[in-house]
Amino acid sequence: MRTPAAPRPSSSRRSTTPGLRVGSVAGAPIVLTRGWALIAVVLVVLFTPIVQSRLGITGLLPAGAIALAIPLLLALSVLAHELAHGLTARRAGYDVDEFVISLWGGHTSFARDIDRPGASALVAVVGPLANAAIAVACWWAVMVTPGHAIGFFLLTTIAITNAVVAVFNLVPALPLDGGRLLEALIWKITGDRYLGMRISGRCGQVAAVLIAVGVLGWPLLSGRRPELTTAIWGILIAGVIWQGAAASVRVARARARAADFDVHHFLRPARLLPEAASVADVQALPTLVLDASGRPLGVVDGAALAAVPGPVRAGTPVTAVLDASAPVAVMTETAGPAALGQLAQILQHRSGNVTVVMRDGAATAIVDVTAVIHRLETGG
């Protein structure tokens, strides 16, 4: 699951996505990725012969220059789509980290999750609406500037593309914007955001299968061979949607588990002893030794404890038998994503540790980390 970045001043915001920074809006960088450069080359190659055929241009370079305008104009359309998302989110109180134009369109990264269904729906719907507005504007421009062949070709191409993108993006399936709308609707009705994500993600997987079957199966049912270019694009788009939908389902499951996480279900009772105690005071394991302020110093090592002879136990400080191989890590959060995130950081940076829950500045128990990991891996 993506961890939301902490909000930062807009003047110091930097892109986390590799690529060419071409500007910024409201402090958020606009990034062109290498993937966009690849798709731009592909579009130029595909559209150059179309330009030559439709406009009667014989020269390769003039036709290529006109064809190059198509990915550039489409990039501006993608940017308008993402700016609609980002600027609407900002007005709703959510900062934007970056706008990215990539191989398959673009995405907008936010500094934190949009945590209200109404805001999520609004941010989602304005993207396709921006594409619809561009399509209408291009058709209007075609109507008021008749007789210009190159302008007519470019404007109609951009208009049709944006109209298709607007409609396609409203399909109620993640990772499309329509999927966010469906997620927000289910979230609003049930109060369960992650149920909405799972259902919308499954719809995305169904949509991916239907696209793949459509581009391959429909021509065959009609007695024709699938057109190669259409089949390739269809399968690629279906693959991207499937991956995004499957990722949404995984994220929803992980976040639902995190939301339900309560460390109290994984506590091992421990006997607490002050650092002034002796080895003779250790009655059972595990025993946690605390300093004068109640902070944990460590746990008693069973092997070291057994090695202390009976006659000297009363005179041996308990701190002499602490397990040096099990450094103590402290948890101050006990429930929800905050607790799970804190535990994940502990496990990432320390190995062989004993994790202790603190409440009101004092240690209370030891976390059974093995049980936590098992629960997260199995969902049990």
**Can you tell me the distance from the alpha carbon of 373 to that of 2, in angstroms, rounded to the nearest whole number?**
19
Q: How far apart are the first and last CA of the chain?
A: 19
Q: Indicate if 206 and 65 belong to the same structural domain.
A: yes
Q: How far apart are CA 226 and CA 228, in angstroms?
A: 6
Note whether 199 and 268 are same-domain residues.
no
Residue/partner pairs of 302-306 with CB below 8 Å, 24 or more apart: 305/279
Inside any domain, residue 276: yes
- How far is the CA of 30 from the CAs of 33, 74, 195, 269, 374, in angstroms? 10, 15, 33, 52, 41
Q: Give a yes or no: residue 373 inside a domain.
A: yes
Which pLDDT score, from 0 to 100, does residue 349 have? Answer: 63
Give pLDDT, residue 152.
92
Residue 208 sits in which domain range?
10-259
335 is a domain residue = yes
Q: Same domain for 281 and 251?
A: no
- On whether both 278 and 252 belong to a single domain, the answer is no
Q: Specify the pLDDT at position 1.
A: 31
Res 132: pLDDT: 98
Shared domain check, 117 and 100 = yes
In a domain, 3, yes or no: no
Q: Which of 291, 307, 281, 309 is nearest to 356 (CA)?
A: 291
Domain presence at residue 4: no
78 with 127: CB under 8 angstroms? Answer: no
> By the 8 A CB rule, do 261 and 335 touch?
yes
369 backbone φψ class: left, alpha, beta (φ>0; ψ -120 to 50): alpha
Is residue 1 included in any domain, yes or no?
A: no
pLDDT for res 17: 84
144 within a domain of the structure (yes/no): yes
pLDDT, position 31: 94
Q: Which residues of the chain fall below pLDDT 70?
A: 1-15, 348-354, 357-362, 379-380
Q: Judge if 210 and 292 occupy the same domain.
A: no
Give a yes or no: residue 274 inside a domain.
yes
CATH number of the CATH domain containing 277: 3.10.580.10
Point out the domain boundary residue: 259, 274, 305. 259
Is the domain of 330 the same as that of 231?
Answer: no
Same domain, 293 and 337: yes
Same-domain pairing of 73 and 128: yes
Count up the domains in the chain and report the number.
2
Output the pLDDT for position 333.
81
Last residue of a domain, one of 205, 234, 259: 259
Both 249 and 304 in a single domain? Answer: no
Q: pLDDT value at position 12? A: 46
At 110 the pLDDT is 92
Residue at a domain's end among 259, 276, 302: 259
Question: Are both 158 and 285 inside the same structural domain?
Answer: no
Contacts of 224 (CB under 8 A, 6+ apart): none
Query: Quick one: pLDDT at residue 260?
Result: 81
Say if residue 162 is in the same domain as residue 230: yes
